[in-house]
Structure 1
Amino acid sequence: MAANFGAANSSKPKVRVDGWKKPKCGWQLCQDSLEGYVGVVIRDQNGAFVAAANEKLEICYDVSTAEAIFVRFGLNLARTVGCSKVEVNLDNVEMISALKEGYSSSLAIAIFDDCYFLSLDFSHILFEHCFRENNKVAHE
């Protein structure tokens, strides 16, 4: 985590060009265990580091559920460190629409409800789409 903090907080971030590569045809990289991880970095309006945290998801059935858990985790962290105005950037357009409209038809509807009620704790909150290509520093 310290290495990730150093890379993300660098004034001269480098774009990572050698990321994940798919396995050879007929090979499997690893068995799907339905586990995952979420990680959140909070920065201020100047881009300075405020807080970061990560957490293991013991089970995750689909992408929408994982994204909803990620948003809930991030909102809880923002609330814990005392943020009052929050901008949530995600690369999942479907998730952004659901958060803005306050409704989702996915399996994660209860988690969306949690996100909605958590969002009421902030004086201002924005849910914005961020293209994955714009977020390469996070993958350093």
Structure 2
Amino acid sequence: MESSTNNTAWKTLWKLRIPAKVKIFVWRTLHGALPCRVVLANRHIKVSGQCPLCAIGAEDILHMLFKCPRAAEIWSLLECQKFISEALEYDRAGSAVLEFLLCSSFRSGIPPDGFPELVATTCWYLWWERHKIGHDEPVQLPAQSAFAIRSLAANFTAASPSKAHLKKQGWTKPPTDRVKLNVDAGFDADSLRATMGAIIRDHHGNFVSATNWKIDFVADVEAAEAHVVRIGLELVALTGCTRVIIESDSFRM
């Protein structure tokens, strides 16, 4: 591929709302640097170049991500098959097909919002499943994999809100007969962990109580926000406050 200064693929890649590990995977794929079986066999590593899933093709990037029957079924379940078919019309390498999907306009229609993130997440997920197969671990049915991919792509996008949607404003005092509970949660889409904090202040702005928490597994950013509200309300109950205003900087609340 061309240098990052004049190739739109790189500009597209680094702007995607996906975790760093998925970006690095896409970066390696665009360079044709995935250690699939064909590459390993060409490097004289004793491994069959045949696809371990379908056994009807050699496992290169093109076959692994787009042409293997299992991959094709998952793309179809994700309603992306017409875009994949258009990308496969010409004799392209797997890295070139991925670049086409990330950067091109399509004759077959306009892809949905978040399509590049869905493409990147799907390719990463297909690669991750192949790792599981290589370690003799079971994988899901294609329909289950497609559902998981949609959920992951949606969570990745939701965890990276556009700065245009964020509006900063100062803290305002609650009415004299109430306290204000401020809550905030941070969600890491890479590890699916969340950190959260809550603070209570009175109508003068004086500190009443506070707490912080960490959760090692959270399904998505909405769940993290719900957890921190629960923790904040438990703090309110412990301090004996009965009239409370809840405030969060989440644009989803």
- Normalising by the residue count of structure 2, what TM-score does the alignment of the two structures yield? 0.26
Q: TM-score, normalised by structure 1?
A: 0.45
Q: Which has the larger radius of gyration?
A: 2
Larger helix proportion of the pair: 2
| Higher strand content, 1 or 2 | 1
Q: Larger RCO: Structure 1 or Structure 2 (Cα < 8 Å, ≥ 6 residues apart)?
A: 1
